[in-house]
Structure 1
């Protein structure tokens, strides 16, 4: 039967951050630093003492070898030296004394080794080191606001290139890399040759580098339209989710889409639309879910991490009572802003409609402002009696009736006919 492995060497492990011997009145971090410094100083002193002992042992061992050699030569009688000057007994006594000192020194070294305390610095040794470099590490995965960036063609092409390189290790001829899929519609023009066709001028497609600099408003609108049309079902599903645990699971599964800034913008517009349509309960649910995305982006920005890496920390923080109340307070403030903005938006829409109705006819060419009967409304209005002009300007039916009553039936019929032909009056 083989001898079992001896684990006794691990019985004396020393930890600098052990709290068992820390007095409650002593600050823990200072206590840990003091223990670590004391351990380092003790180990340095022990190593210096071991080094000194080893030097003395080597020196005395050389002396023992020298004396032993002389004694052997004296016994052989062929050393060529004067026997009277050599004291064999004295040399043997010196050898015994040196050997005794060697035993004492070795016992001290054994004591150091037996009572050695293991710690994080001496328990393990590094035998092999490897460094793995991510080819996409230099590419940004989130913007300055903390939102996730959409997958770019560069990342897709780089991943495809790595896979193709692994597949073509046994082949002698490498094929061009496939073009990454895009969401753009195909344009008119000649079709590219099939992937299996080889031409003398065929080259591997170059990856599209992301554009550096600010994005124009037109590009933002177009990208938002593409994003919403592609992920509308997913966005609507998230808008109607009520449980925080379900939201957490949903974001962990679909974080690459939901943590983009376009998703946050979609939820903001959905909140405003629900409030303007009188669906306040639905608006409150969407507002809460919108604030979840906003808070995750803010936390990612403060930690300078990808928002997908702070989903679990965020929900762990919201699970605490103090942070849950502050989060709900932020949601309530956001809901109040949505309600206020909905009122302002209605006023803006009413003002825009009124502005469309009140068009300055004098600014239009005469051909464009002619009424259904071919008459110019400006010329007809200027030819009307003053009472009718004031009635049309006031838009009051009672004032218009009074003006017509004060006229003869022929004149009233004549002027109203001209107003109808010019578009000033709609008989329907």
Structure 2
């Protein structure tokens, strides 16, 4: 037989209505005062819990910002950045301790909350009222392909407007333009402005890059504000402009620091892109230079002995024949084959049906150069 656990009833606070009171005391008033005192205690306790939760949330937010700052400074190598990193790490350590203290207080509050006795105000519930909440549907995570397609479609439609926003300078002008075009307040605009900055830096339009970089950080700050407030960015960009125009020095410094860091990252990305383009160009030029045997004439020339280089510099065939005749036959044969494969030396080619040279042909070409050298030497002796 199942037993019933009655221990839960130990925490029920008996109603004041059952208390015996003195005949001369106004019983209804006494009950009202007691009830009011109990409600006030409950409200004060609840307010305390809300304050503790709020402090914990703020502590965690500050810690996240401090950790982000430590990560950013750790990527920099300047002496000033190293000093700032030490301070940032100390701040991070302090905030971690503060977060632990807040968590401890919240845990203590929850334990006290469980110990509180039930009463008529906590047991009773309304039976015929209901609240309907418009719950925001869970946002499905987009794939990389979907994000790319979304970005492409957005840019094709609003590229001109994004560029116009990127060229604005005054806070008021930027705010008015976004008020007229609120659809621009989104990740796609920020991403396009980043690409635009890198393109301008590659083109060495440094002043324009810095202007667009400023507007990029404006958009990113708006998006970050929207995330922290958990609202649509189109609904909070006015708050950003109101804040930045009346901000204290600390907020202005944070904005300027982020702007300078962003410009440095843009310059770094532009440098990488330029280096990559130069390598691709050099490789294309190298491919164009390749001789019939697939060798680069510049590389082959650099590998030749100085005497042979001089022959090609002066375009002196007789001198080349003389140099070949004095070299070790095996070494000379290797050099001549590389010269032919790179196109530095173009002999009277004898190819097979497929147009490919075989080893016997290479040897015959070497022997031809050597023979011509010998013939030239004999003629010279006879004279």
TM-score > 0.5 by shorter chain: no
The two structures have a TM-score, normalised by structure 2, of 0.44
TM-score where L is the length of structure 1: 0.40
Higher helix share: 2
